[in-house]
Structure 1
């Protein structure tokens, strides 16, 4: 991770919860919520972006449509908008869209800053 300049994660649907409840019988008075028919992704889609974020690296997460937005997958959790991709639609069209071009250009700009700063001596102020 220390040799990286940025991280891209794709949160594909991996595990389907057929029937479930979030926060059942919570002691702190939070309301229960339904988790039935929700998709989870790999735990590495939480771990690796968190590691990169701790190091100050730019993180871009693409979430497959239907994946539960939890932890770093919540919109705005890491600062960059997390686009949702629908594998049932034409991905080439999405990757030509204004939304995608703006997101990837913004992330690329952050990566370029990391590359530039790696060659500079540390600054105290």
Structure 2
């Protein structure tokens, strides 16, 4: 089994737990072993060091951006002063928006730093910022819904998710084989 780092907030709903279980099945079937920072591993003073050591031993990273904070109606950058010297310095309304855990961004940045192949999958209506922004740093899978276990199962069997996982898995195997001097 090839170790990959699984970055995700701790699930707090039955649907999030079921989604995570289904994704882990996909990983296992692909010959991947997920490594993640568990609650028992968390120490406010040593978490970054622990995470970094775990991530260094992995050949890829999967970021599952579950919503953790819900904004029914709000404002981003309230009273912002537009300034061309600052990126995106405008006030924006937020409605029906989820924000993921900051750990997804922190762990993702460490994965990027270690040049790991990264796959990102996001819950619907997630605020796209930080590591979640589109770019060449990661493969983006389709957004997912947590409406029901049936919808989750359909997503996990979807062509578009399987295509993203296949692209990511190809990059992981290239890295793994290069490091272990295996030529296939």
TM-score, normalised to structure 2's length?
A: 0.59
Asked whether the 8 Å contact 1:38–1:68 carries over to 2, the reply is yes
1:113 aligns with 2:177: no
Asked whether the 8 Å contact 2:82–2:90 carries over to 1, the reply is no
1:48 aligns with 2:102: no
Which sits farther off after the overlay, 42-51 or 72-81?
Answer: 72-81
Q: Which residue of 2 aligns with 1:102?
A: 163
Asked whether the 8 Å contact 1:17–1:35 carries over to 2, the reply is yes
| Deviation of the 1:18 alpha carbon | 3.9
1:15 aligns with 2:76: no
Are residues 97 and 36 of structure 1, via their aligned partners in 2, closer, same or farther at CA, if it must alter by over 3 Å? closer
| Deviation of the 1:38 alpha carbon | 1.9
Are residues 91 and 18 of structure 1, via their aligned partners in 2, closer, same or farther at CA, if it must alter by over 3 Å? closer
**Of the candidates 130, 135, 154, which is equivalent to residue 76 of structure 1?**
135
| Deviation of the 1:31 alpha carbon | 2.6
Are residues 79 and 59 of structure 1, via their aligned partners in 2, closer, same or farther at CA, if it must alter by over 3 Å? closer
Moved over 6 A (4+): none
Q: Unaligned regions of 5+ residues in structure 1, if any?
A: 121-125
SS at match of 1:85: coil
Q: Unaligned regions of 5+ residues in structure 2, if any?
A: 1-54, 84-88
The RMSD of aligned alpha carbons is 1.8
Instruction: Pick the structure with more helix per residue.
Output: 2
Q: Which residue of 2 aligns with 1:32?
A: 91
| Deviation of the 1:77 alpha carbon | 6.0
